[in-house]
Amino acid sequence: DLVFYGTLDRWFKALDAKSGKELWKFQVGSGVIGNAFTYAHKGKQHVGVLSGIGGWAGVAMNLGLTNPTEALGAAGGYAELTKYNAAPGGGALTVFTL
């Protein structure tokens, strides 16, 4: 059994569900803030994840606000997020076949 999850620093990882050992990882274009999903199609299993920092956090990051008090303080609070976003202004769907 496997466990899949994504991280804010852009990693999508697979762990052994029993041991917790990391088995695989892939760096996607932006921080992962959603859940992994899985589905079967034509007899093959797939796993995917949506990445892209958006919402209120994305406002400060994508507008290039520099004053830490702008956007009700979001510009300062989320300033570090730019390190985790290689795809500013958009998100991505990444899917793998198992």
Number of H helices, E strands in the chain: 2, 6
pLDDT digits (tens, 9 = 90+) for 60-87: 566 666 777 776 666 666 666 666 666 6
Domain count, the chain: 1
What is the residue range of 84's domain? 2-97
Whole-number pLDDT of residue 92 = 83
pLDDT tens, position by position, 10-69: 899 999 999 999 999 999 888 887 899 999 999 999 999 988 876 555 655 666 667 777
Q: What is the pLDDT of residue 4?
A: 96
Instruction: Provide the 3-class DSSP secondary structure of residue 48.
Output: strand
User: Is 5 within 8 Å of 25 (Cβ atoms)?
Assistant: no
